[in-house]
Structure 1
Amino acid sequence: MLSSRTIEFWSWRLFAVALVVSLGVSWWDYPQRWHTPGYWLRNLIMYWLYWSPRLAGVFMLTGFVSRAWNTRGGRRLLAMLMSVGVMIGLWSSLVEPQQLQVRETVLTGLPEGAEPVRLAVISDVHWGLFFRDSQLQGLVDKLNTLEVDAVLVAGDWTHEPPLDLKTGLAPLASIRHPVYGVMGNHDVEAPGPPLTEALREALKANGVQMLEGRMVTWKGWELVGLDDQWGGSPGPQVAALWPNERGHDRPQPSRRIVLAHQPDTLALLPEQGAFLAIAGHTHGGQIWIPGLTPWWLRNTNSEQSWWNGLYSTRVGPVFVTPGVGTVGLPARLAVPPMIDVIELR
């Protein structure tokens, strides 16, 4: 039987080997993908952040646990704290991103002429670097179990995806509900590669109806889509879709369901401009650290304090979904991936 010191000795050596192997796997995984121009080193580091917990994480955890067993006093305490930190890191990178959940929200008081509907709302899929093919298929399978009338996707479909977008996104064609969507900042500008038109064609080929800058009548509702705030021009679209907002020919706002990627885009709408306005982008913070995450969201992500869930605003009810994928770090902590089902009745 191996002693705890032998286990510690080999754990750290296997950890070092696994780190090198994960770098090699990252290099192997790198080609044949869309990449943000000029960021090859950053991209390679992100691949390494994806693969290293999967290949080296268990050895790191075993090393710290063995060290805690073999030492005393302050060193034991430090090793125990490091073990807890590694376990949290492994949970956030390997477990929680796989725990797709469904959250239900109900809004009442239908406008005249609008039918009761159930909407599945998702955002920030970020298929590609961190959100892999199996997760995309799992997302589609979960959507197909839901009794909803349509699926609304609030942008950021990709993140450094494979070159063959049409084939990679083919699972979307098997969704048994109508799918409507808009683009997000990762789809139309840096920090994403220049794939907008190819992505738009791939989504259309797989049955997704894109809504930017237009209104579609559906079950007595008016579905309206807007460009991304950073990479598009939502302001002129709002002016065109809500003409003469103070005049008699103003469109009926209470029948409008507005879809955009960023919450800040929804702030451009006129007062009570929508029965429901939907966005993503924030990831709900993705890694929720009380105090720090709200500060980060306010200062880097959104001017509005609409991060996750339903908000009462001057433009009407705003709903922000926390998304299903990840960027930056391949991890989620206390913000699991979410399909939001919104019932309007």
Structure 2
Amino acid sequence: MKKFIKYSLLLLVILVIALLVWGTFVAPYQIDYKEEQAEIPHLPLAWKDREIALIADFQVGMWLSNTETVKDIAERLAQRQPSAVLIAGDFIYHPIGDEPREEIREELEKDDVREVIQELRHALSLLAPLTEAGIPVYAVLGNHDYAMEKPDDTRLEWLAQQVETTLEEVGIKVLVNESLPLPAPGNTDGDPLYLVGIGSHYANNDAPQQALSQLPDDAARLVFMHNPDSFSHFPEGSAPLAMAGHTHGGQIRLPWTSDWSWMAMLAKNDVHTDGWVENYGKPGNRLYVNRGIGFSVIPVRLNAAPEVTLFTLQ
């Protein structure tokens, strides 16, 4: 009996080690290019059957970060030629350190921030195939772009501004509670499709009403944000197609279930891990959550592969 217990424990240890090795060095680099059909009321004819790509959560600066996957994604999307690429925030990862958490962080470790921004510039340079192919790229900011790991952390506006400036330098348009008409595919005429970008939820900077107020009545629109929690603030019927990231698909979760995950265990509220989220938000609104490509806390993904979502508009 003792021998059986001994060998069982040894087998368990070997299994855990194998899973960690797989989740650290293999799974994070196997990108899931997921195709979805998405309906938008009043969609202009020029946009029918057109494709929009969504990626999220680069988390540049995280140890063992997989930023080289950005190159693979950019090259494959450049070949696929979607009509636009959306990036749903968290470009950098926690560059200030864990302590302290007060306003004094404003002046701390700016050399570390400069290093992370340099890494971000490198990662964004890997997106060059997209801009060289003439594909419009748009972004919103996430909580880590303000150096916020938790909602009660001090937000660093200067850091978010640095991230936004770096994105704009490489031709990525950042939306903060604003709307704009997307360039029509093939320079065709007709009614526009509007893109609505929402600010960071943790930074208390998500204002859907402000962004929606810039839209004409009954305008066709798609909405994107970093944190799925922002979705609950949208009025009825105002976000028939919304997209978010933030949760990394739970990052570590049991097979055959999306309800149990490591991130859900750490959270104080519901975690919407990935895919179409049912029974959430106001009537007439629909949310899709992308698993992102980076990590949070530990560089491991199990049963939560990094994702690029390709929406065909209907």
The bucket for the TM-score relative to the shorter chain is 0.7 to 0.9
Q: Does 1:162 align with 2:116?
A: yes
**C-alpha displacement of 1:100:** 0.8
Equivalent residue letter for 1:180 = Y
**C-alpha displacement of 1:301:** 6.6
Q: Does 1:316 align with 2:274?
A: no
**C-alpha displacement of 1:214:** 1.4
**Higher helix share goes to which structure?**
1
CA 152–250 in structure 1, closer or farther in 2 if over 3 Å, else same: closer
Q: Could you list the per-position Cα deviations for residues 31-72 of structure 1 after superposition, in whole angstroms to 9, with x for gaps in the alignment?
A: xxxxxxxxxxxxxxxxxxxxxxxxxxxxxxxxxxxxxxxx95
Equivalent residue letter for 2:225 = A
1:126 to 59, 81, 91: 59
Partner of residue 332, structure 1: 301
Q: Could you list the per-position Cα deviations for residues 243-302 of structure 1 after superposition, in whole angstroms to 9, with x for gaps in the alignment?
A: 4xxxxx984356111111011111111101023111111111010135873585287175
The CA distance in 2 between the partners of 1:255 and 1:76, in whole Å, is 61
The CA distance in 2 between the partners of 1:284 and 1:146, in whole Å, is 24
Does the 8 Å CA contact 1:224/1:257 hold for their aligned counterparts? Answer: yes
After superposition, the CA RMSD in angstroms is 2.7
The CA distance in 2 between the partners of 1:201 and 1:132, in whole Å, is 23
Q: Could you list the per-position Cα deviations for residues 113-146 of structure 1 after superposition, in whole angstroms to 9, with x for gaps in the alignment?
A: 3522211111111122232442332232232232
**Identity level (%):** 25
Partner of residue 284, structure 1: 249
The CA distance in 2 between the partners of 1:341 and 1:132, in whole Å, is 21
Higher relative contact order (CA 8 A, sep 6+): 2
CA 302–118 in structure 1, closer or farther in 2 if over 3 Å, else same: farther
The CA distance in 2 between the partners of 1:167 and 1:97, in whole Å, is 19
The CA distance in 1 between the partners of 2:67 and 2:274, in whole Å, is 26
What TM-score do you get using the length of structure 1 for normalisation?
0.70
Higher mean displacement: 256-265 or 211-220: 211-220
**C-alpha displacement of 1:199:** 1.3
CA 83–153 in structure 1, closer or farther in 2 if over 3 Å, else same: same
The CA distance in 2 between the partners of 1:131 and 1:271, in whole Å, is 39
Equivalent residue letter for 2:274 = N
Say which one has the larger Rg: 1
1:227 to 189, 194, 199: 199
The CA distance in 2 between the partners of 1:307 and 1:321, in whole Å, is 8
Partner of residue 211, structure 1: 175
Partner of residue 83, structure 1: 14
The CA distance in 1 between the partners of 2:298 and 2:117, in whole Å, is 22
**C-alpha displacement of 1:73:** 3.6
Q: Does 1:241 align with 2:201?
A: no
Partner of residue 135, structure 1: 69
Which consecutive residues of structure 1, in runs of 5 or more, have no partner in the other structure? Answer: 1-70, 244-248
Aligned length: 267
Q: Could you list the per-position Cα deviations for residues 175-213 of structure 1 after superposition, in whole angstroms to 9, with x for gaps in the alignment?
A: 132111100000023239763222111111111111112
Does the 8 Å CA contact 1:189/1:231 hold for their aligned counterparts? Answer: no
Equivalent residue letter for 1:190 = M
Q: How does 1:28-67 map to 2 (within 5 A)?
A: none
The CA distance in 2 between the partners of 1:295 and 1:138, in whole Å, is 27
Q: Does 1:300 align with 2:267?
A: yes
Q: Could you list the per-position Cα deviations for residues 56-106 of structure 1 after superposition, in whole angstroms to 9, with x for gaps in the alignment?
A: xxxxxxxxxxxxxxx954322221221111101111111100101101100
Does the 8 Å CA contact 2:251/2:262 hold for their aligned counterparts? Answer: no
Equivalent residue letter for 1:274 = A
**C-alpha displacement of 1:332:** 0.4
The CA distance in 2 between the partners of 1:88 and 1:300, in whole Å, is 23
Does the 8 Å CA contact 1:253/1:274 hold for their aligned counterparts? Answer: no
Residue 273 of structure 2 aligns to a residue whose secondary structure is coil
CA 339–233 in structure 1, closer or farther in 2 if over 3 Å, else same: same
